[in-house]
Amino acid sequence: MSIHDITLLRPLWLLLLPVLGGFGWWLWSRSGGFGEWDRAANPVLMRAMVALGRIDSSANRKPLIALLVAVAIFILALAGPAIERRDAQSFRNLDGVLFVVDASSSVTDNRRWPQMLTMGRFGVSALGARPGGIIVYAGDAYVATDMTTDHRQVGQTFSLINSQTIPDKGSRPERALALAGQLIREADVLAGDVVLFSDGAGLGPASLQEAAALAEAGARLSLVSLGDAAAGMETHASVGGGVVFTLEQTDALRDWLTSDARMRLEQADYPVLFWRDMGRYLLVLALFPLLLLFRRETA
């Protein structure tokens, strides 16, 4: 590591260093090395005391030097010297994934429903360190799992979805997409993914409007089709900035949720950098000059 690898997170604190330097110079010149004794005592007597070795002018300046050095280190610590964490694997709340699952009878009674669940669990396993959540819908939409990094819980919830999960009849994907947008805003996700598992039922102008709202909020809407991808699905994916996957494209879904995530954040100018603030360690160094203030002089 070199000095070029260090970044100051709060550089404006360094403006206090010239102020400290001026204040230290004023104290130094004012004390004259003897506190105020050289001004109060007879000058001849003071010179005689110095000549006899009764006054050590350097010793009187040590506490001032120690104090100034300690304060300077405190200022450097407040400036936040940091090094990049190249081992960081988490996007924190920058990026998250919501799986929106159609649990209406037209989907859950289909012979390919188990295959759709398997693809959903496969998508969960591709999240890495990204938080994920599940929304289920039929005639209405509900949160099955809030945004969480507990991917095991998300995968287990996927396995439990069946025809009895949603009591409301029908298929209202626009309500599920609106709920997804609400969860993304509440989780402070800057650039998330919404993956809609559907047979295409209920997709229309209302859901298309919600897809546009998700894209405006920084989220991509992709769809996993139970059968062949319909034209309506392609339109939603186009408006939402995502793609349409079939149940045979599990590898493509994995790549979309992993390798494309970092690239999308970089293209959106979101800083995908993590820094380790070293200021706290400088505070420990500041204790050493302060110890000189408590040093006891011995004859």
- pLDDT by residue for the chain (299 residues), tens only, comes to 455 567 888 889 889 889 988 888 887 776 554 555 556 666 777 677 667 666 655 545 677 788 888 888 888 888 888 876 654 444 444 678 999 999 999 999 999 999 999 999 989 988 887 889 999 999 999 999 998 888 899 999 988 998 888 988 999 999 999 999 998 888 777 778 999 999 999 999 999 999 999 999 888 999 999 988 788 899 999 999 999 999 999 989 988 888 655 445 444 444 445 567 788 888 888 888 877 767 655 54
Cα distance from N-terminal residue to C-terminal residue, the chain? 46
Using a cut of 0.85, tell me whether the model's pTM lies above it.
no
Contacts of 264 (CB under 8 A, 6+ apart): 191, 220
Q: Indicate the Cα dihedral angle 231, 233, 234, 236, nearest 10°.
A: 130
Structure tokens at 230: 């319909």
Contacts of 80 (CB under 8 A, 6+ apart): 8, 9, 10, 11, 13, 277, 279
- As a whole number of angstroms, the distance between CA 277 and CA 83 comes to 7
What's the pLDDT at 87? 47
> How buried is 284 (Cβ within 10 angstroms: 0-12 exposed, 13-18 middle, 19+ buried)?
exposed
Determine phi and psi for 112, rounding to 5 degrees.
Answer: -95, 5
- As a whole number of angstroms, the distance between CA 146 and CA 154 comes to 9
- As a whole number of angstroms, the distance between CA 30 and CA 37 comes to 11
Structure tokens at 217: 């909020």
Burial code (b: 16+ CB inside 10 Å, e: under 16) for 150-165 equals ebebbbebbeebeeeb
Of 101, 141, 97, 98, nearest in space to 117 by CA: 101
What's the pLDDT at 269? 46
Please, which residues bridge with residue 195 across strands? Answer: 99, 222
What's the pLDDT at 208? 94
- As a whole number of angstroms, the distance between CA 246 and CA 229 comes to 7
CB-based contact 133:176 (threshold 8 Å)? no
CB-based contact 246:229 (threshold 8 Å)? yes
What's the pLDDT at 80? 84
What's the pLDDT at 297? 54
CB-based contact 172:202 (threshold 8 Å)? yes
- As a whole number of angstroms, the distance between CA 177 and CA 216 comes to 13
Q: How many CB atoms lie under 10 A from the CB of residue 276?
A: 13
- As a whole number of angstroms, the distance between CA 214 and CA 193 comes to 9
The arrangement of strands across the sheet holding 141-148 comes to: 141-148, 132-137, 97-102, 193-198, 220-225, 241-246
